[in-house]
Amino acid sequence: MINRIKIIGAGISGLSAGCYLQMNGYETEIYELHNIPGGLCTGWERMGYTFDGCVHWLVGSSPESNLYPLWNELINMKRQKFVDHEIYNRIWDETNENFIDFYTDVDKLESELLEKAPEDESLIRSFTSAIRRLGTLQMPVNKAREVMGPLDGLRTLVRFLPYINTFKKWHKLSIKDFSDKFKNPLLRDGIKALFIPEMAMLFILMNMAWMGNKSAGYPIGGSLKLAENIAKRYKKLGGTINYNNRVDKITSFEGKATGIILASGEKKSADIVISAADGYNTIFNMLDGKFKNKKMEKYYNNYKVFPSFLQVSLGLKKEMKGIEPNQYLPIPGGMKIDDLTTLDYLGIRIFNFDETLAPKGKTAITALIPTENYKYWIDLRNGDSKKYREEKKKISDRVTEILENKFGDIKKNVEVTDVSTPASVIRYTGNWQGSFEGWILTPELGFGQMDKTLPGLDKFYMIGQWVEPGGGLPPALMSGRAVAQMICKDDHKEFTTESF
Enter the DSSP assignment of 457.
Answer: B
Walk me through the domains of the chain, giving residue ranges and CATH numbers.
Answer: 4-45+55-59+221-304+442-490 (3.50.50.60), 97-210 (no CATH), 308-432 (no CATH)
Segment 131-166, tens digit of pLDDT:
999 999 888 888 999 999 888 888 888 888 889 999
The answer to whether 247 touches 31, Cβ cutoff 8 Å, is yes
**Could you tell me the pTM of the whole model?**
0.96
Alpha helices, DSSP H only, in 279-416? 279-280, 294-302, 374-383, 385-407
Integer Cα distance of 383 and 387 in angstroms? 9
Residues in the chain: 500
Q: What is the pLDDT of residue 141?
A: 86
What stretches in the chain show pLDDT beneath 70? 1, 447-448
DSSP H helices, 237-312, are 279-280, 294-302
222, with CB counted inside 10 A (0-12, 13-18, 19+), is buried
Q: Check residue 1 and give its pLDDT.
A: 62
